[in-house]
Amino acid sequence: METIQIPDDDDAIPVPGPIVAIAGDDMVRPVWINERGGVTFELGAGPSRRFAKWAPASAPDLDLAGEVARLRWAGAYARVPRVLAEGADSDGRWLVTAGLPGGSAVARRWREDPLLAVRASGVGLRRLHDTLPVDDCPFDWSVESRLARSEKWAASPDPALGDAPTVDRLVVCHGDPCVPNTLLLDDGTWSGHVDLDALGTADRWADLAIGTMSLGWNYGDGWEGEYFDAYGIDPDPGRIAYYRALWNAT
């Protein structure tokens, strides 16, 4: 997904009123802007450090309510942000979560020297898949549900995608396992996952195909083998190709 990581010294992003009010006396720093105009702000520091995601009214498809439901469910099992507050007014919607320890896997130091970040991202995805219980999961990210929800697919359906590969292993998938959604501790070990609005049950290859595709966008070519090794799996070219095509089509 096309996104911008905001430089530390950027003060050109306006802070919406509700976020100013939530921050109180704490400092507010924009850290991320997504391709649909949603902005994430970091508020405060130390024990009160938290993150506020802002979805402007002009981007109704940013599903903060769906993310809240998934964070609340997954939080009983996995290292994901704890929901502190949510709200809406006529200008937009917001979601406030407690800060997870560490920082982004695409921080400059990891983009300059990616090996530990690549390995931690593979390990982290494996932990998520091994930890979240499929039988208890109320959310679905199957091929059928993704095609049924996709306006892009409805507008130009690709018949090849109707023929999904058999499921290798059904797990609770992250749903957007691109490396910026992985957080690392300072020593390069995995800290947790953010951005769970698409989480749901699906073949593990739905996540693996995209986690590895995102390595090239963020770190350059040549890192996929390290990621698959860290996850503990051999690449499956057929399922990788299918789930990348599905991602691009939906």
Ligand X SMILES: Nc1ncnc2c1ncn2[C@@H]1O[C@H](COP(=O)(O)OP(=O)(O)OP(=O)(O)O)[C@@H](O)[C@H]1O
Residues in Cβ contact with 72 at an 8 Å cutoff, skipping those fewer than 6 apart: 83
Got the DSSP string for 155-187? HS--GGGGSPPPPS-EEEE-S---GGGEEE-TT
Say whether residue 181 binds ligand X (CB under 6 A): yes
- Residue 188 is given by DSSP the state S
Q: Which stretch binds ligand X (CB under 6 A): 8-16, 96-104, 137-145, 155-163?
A: 96-104
Q: Which stretch binds ligand X (CB under 6 A): 31-39, 71-79, 85-93, 234-242?
A: 31-39
100 touches, from ligand X, Mg ion, none (C-beta below 5 to 8 Å by class): ligand X
Side-chain half-sphere exposure of 87, counting CA atoms within 13 A: 13
Piece of 10-18, 143-151, 174-182, 184-192 that binds Mg ion (CB under 5 A): 174-182
* Beta strands 170-173; 92-98: pairing state: unpaired
Q: Show the binding pattern over residues 35-64: x = contacts ligand X (CB under 6 A), - = does not.
A: ---x-x----------x-x-----------
Q: Give every CB contact of residue 123 below 8 A, 6+ residues apart in sequence.
A: 189, 190, 230, 231
- The DSSP output letter for 48 is G
Nearer to Mg ion, 38 or 122 (CB): 38
Q: Which stretch binds Mg ion (CB under 5 A): 54-62, 90-98, 191-199, 207-215?
A: 191-199
The neighbour count for residue 25, using CB atoms within 10 Å, is 5
Residues within the interface to ligand X (CB under 6 A): 1, 3, 31-32, 34, 38, 40, 51, 53, 81, 97, 99-100, 104, 176, 180-181, 183, 194-195
Residues within the interface to Mg ion (CB under 5 A): 181, 195
